[in-house]
């Protein structure tokens, strides 16, 4: 017989004979466990049954991520520890099931745990060896009230009982062991259902108080926070209309359910948020240039950030309505189009035409610059040319004055000797004879120059 392996976390298992629906309404592949305890243990000779669309011959089994066993069997008996899944072509892979082979295992029933139920946790030793000095824990807190030494009964279950549980005890050889933690989730017998869409001021929303698996519930009451908010219209539904911002908050329902004994149950709270639509005016083409010229074409747009049809739009120019619709197109504009623009978005719902909201966009200032843009550009170019001409005139006048002044200065100065020719050797000598050089220097210098 193999020795125990290290414990691994055990996922939630499917209920025997129960195959839940996916969010889209399609059936999913489920892996059922017998005996109906989780985590399963090897010494119980666990039987796994694969349920899903298609025939049993299409079933494929996997152990620790690898294909395992022969294809075509919808149930198998497991005697080895590991993680098991099955596959059906029509519904895909099942959730995984872990089989343990540990010295100590804490087990809880494989079924949905609901408020008001009774559940028994049991602490078991490897190969059903005797376990003594058993203690049960929720997270790090030791629990009291174990029964028969190896079992703990919780009754009635409450939502606060959800959490991780484990046990410690002496197995056979008087060595203290601790089980792997098991997650236990307690579901509310009642659930409050609210539309998932965004809720706007003035709309109508219906709150539904449903019992687990749609079983009957009576005496339903609805609460906004801790305050009761009226009786339901048809026993299990409450209508809020028209919605206001103060309707936002946390809602819950309470009712009487019959499960052997009559008891009251309360749903988990659900948050309801009522939005106020916001309108926003923009100008195109972009980027946002609020200065435009006569003759330009400008389009103003008014999107609603939060809203639902039907939404009507009106445009105000300096506070006066000038057009309707989400777009305001200004063609061949002139100075008279200058001013502030603002759009008003209004949503009307219901047969009575009740106004849901009236959202105002920020004011948009539009300035139309008088004059043609080409005239403006031409004027600018003419000024630049004039400046260049003046600059050239100043430069020419300065050069002319400088030449005249130089000519007058030459006429007043004494004549200067003519510059000698470079090719005459006497000239070179006459230049040198004035210098106090030694003869050898003269000859050397003459030799260099020649």
CATH superfamily of 190-275: Immunoglobulins (2.60.40.10)
3-state helix/strand/coil string of the chain: CCCCCCCCCCCCCCCCCCCCECCCCCECCEEEEECCEECEEHHHCEEEEEECCCCHHHCEEEECCEECCCCCCCEEEECCCEEEEEEECCCEECCCEEEECCCEEEEEECCCEECCCCEEEEEEEHHHCCEEEEEEEECCEEECCEECCCEEEECCCCHHHCEEEEEEEEECCCEEEECCCEEECEECCEEEECCCCCEECCCCEEEEEEEHHHCCCEEEEEEECCEECCCCCCCCEEEECCCCHHHCEEEEEEEEEEECEEEEEECCCEEECEECCCECCEEECCCCCCEECCCCCEEEECCECCCCCCEEEEEEECCEEEEECCEEEECCCCHHHCEEEEEEEEEEECCCCEEEEEEECCCEEEEECCCCHHHHHHHHHHHHHHHHHHHHHHHHHHHHHHHHHHHHHHHHCCCCCCCCCCCCHHHHHHHHHCCCCCHHHHHHHHHHHC
- CA separation for the pair 219, 208 (Å, rounded): 13
The per-residue pLDDT for 190 is 87
The per-residue pLDDT for 167 is 94
Structure pTM? 0.52
CATH superfamily of 30-186: Immunoglobulins (2.60.40.10)
User: Could you tell me which residues come within 8 angstroms of residue 347 by beta carbon, excluding any fewer than 6 positions away?
Assistant: 200, 202, 277, 307, 308, 310, 311, 312, 355, 356, 357
**5, two tokens:** 């392996």
Task: Give ranges for CATH 2.60.40.10 in the chain.
Answer: 30-186, 190-275, 282-368
Phi, psi of 190 (to 5 degrees): -115, 145
The alpha carbons of the chain give a radius of gyration, in whole angstroms, of 48
Pairing of strands 339-349, 364-368: antiparallel
pLDDT 10s per residue in the chain (450 long)? Answer: 455 654 443 333 333 333 333 333 346 899 999 999 999 999 998 999 999 888 888 899 999 999 988 778 888 999 899 999 999 988 899 999 989 999 999 999 998 888 888 999 999 999 999 999 899 999 889 987 665 589 999 988 888 899 999 999 999 777 899 999 999 998 888 888 898 788 877 788 889 888 876 677 888 889 999 999 876 656 788 888 888 888 999 999 988 876 555 577 888 899 999 887 776 666 555 444 456 778 888 888 887 765 555 678 899 999 899 998 888 888 888 888 888 888 888 876 544 555 556 777 888 888 887 764 433 323 333 334 445 555 556 566 666 666 766 666 555 555 544 444 444 433 322 232 333 333 344 334 433 433
**Within 13 A of 140's CA, how many CA atoms are on the CB side?**
0
- CA separation for the pair 301, 450 (Å, rounded): 92
The per-residue pLDDT for 26 is 42
- CA separation for the pair 272, 222 (Å, rounded): 13
The CATH class of the 282-368 domain is mainly beta
CA distance to 135, 136, 181, 230, 285, per residue, from 144 (Å):
8, 8, 18, 41, 73
The per-residue pLDDT for 326 is 85
275-306 exposure pattern, b = at least 16 Cβ within 10 A, e = fewer: bebbbebebeeeeeeeebebebebebbbebee
Cβ–Cβ under 8 Å, residues 171 and 134: no
Cβ–Cβ under 8 Å, residues 106 and 253: no
Nearest-5° Cα angle at 164, 163 to 167: 135
């Amino acid at each position: 017989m193999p020795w125990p392996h290290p414990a691994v976390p055990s996922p939630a298992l499917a209920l025997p004979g129960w195959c839940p629906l996916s969010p889209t309404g399609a059936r999913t592949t489920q892996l059922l466990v017998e005996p109906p305890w989780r985590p399963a243990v090897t010494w119980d000779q666990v039987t796994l049954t694969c349920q899903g669309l298609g025939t049993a011959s299409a079933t494929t089994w996997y152990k620790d991520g690898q294909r395992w066993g022969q294809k075509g069997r919808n149930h198998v008996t497991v005697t080895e520890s590991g993680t098991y899944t099955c596959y059906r072509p029509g519904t895909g892979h099942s959730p995984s099931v872990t089989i343990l082979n540990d010295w100590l295992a804490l087990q809880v029933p494989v079924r949905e745990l609901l408020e008001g139920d009774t559940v028994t946790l049991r602490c078991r030793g490897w190969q059903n060896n005797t376990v003594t000095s058993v203690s049960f824990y929720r997270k790090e807190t030791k629990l009291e009230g174990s029964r028969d030494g190896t079992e703990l009964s919780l009754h009635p279950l409450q939502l606060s009982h959800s959490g991780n549980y484990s046990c410690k005890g002496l197995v056979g050889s008087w060595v203290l062991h601790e089980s792997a933690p098991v997650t236990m989730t307690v579901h509310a017998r009642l659930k409050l259902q609210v539309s998932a869409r965004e809720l706007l001021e003035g709309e109508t929303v219906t709150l539904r108080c449903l019992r687990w698996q749609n079983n009957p519930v009576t005496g339903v009451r609805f609460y906004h926070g801790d305050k009761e908010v009226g009786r339901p219209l048809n026993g299990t539904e409450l209508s809020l209309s028209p919605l206001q911002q103060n309707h936002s908050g946390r809602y819950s329902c309470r009712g009487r359910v019959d499960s052997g004994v009559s008891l009251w149950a309360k749903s988990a709270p659900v948050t309801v948020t009522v939005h106020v639509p916001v309108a926003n005016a923009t100008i195109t083409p972009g980027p946002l240039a609020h200065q435009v010229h006569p003759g330009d074409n400008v389009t103003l747009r008014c999107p609603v950030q939060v809203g639902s049809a039907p939404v009507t739009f009106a445009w105000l120019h300096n506070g006066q309505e000038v057009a309707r619709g989400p777009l305001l197109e200004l063609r061949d504009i002139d100075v008279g189009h200058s001013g502030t623009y603002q759009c008003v978005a209004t949503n009307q719902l219901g047969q009575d035409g009740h106004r849901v909201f009236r959202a105002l966009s920020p004011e948009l200032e539009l300035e139309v610059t008088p004059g043609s843009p080409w005239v403006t550009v031409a004027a600018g170019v003419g000024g630049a040319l004039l400046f260049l001409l003046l600059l050239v005139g100043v430069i020419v006048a300065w050069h002319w004055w400088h030449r005249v002044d130089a000519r007058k200065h030459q006429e007043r100065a004494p004549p200067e000797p003519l510059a000698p020719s470079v090719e005459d050797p006497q000239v070179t000598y006459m230049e040198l004879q004035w210098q106090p050089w030694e003869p050898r220097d003269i000859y050397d210098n003459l030799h260099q120059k020649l």
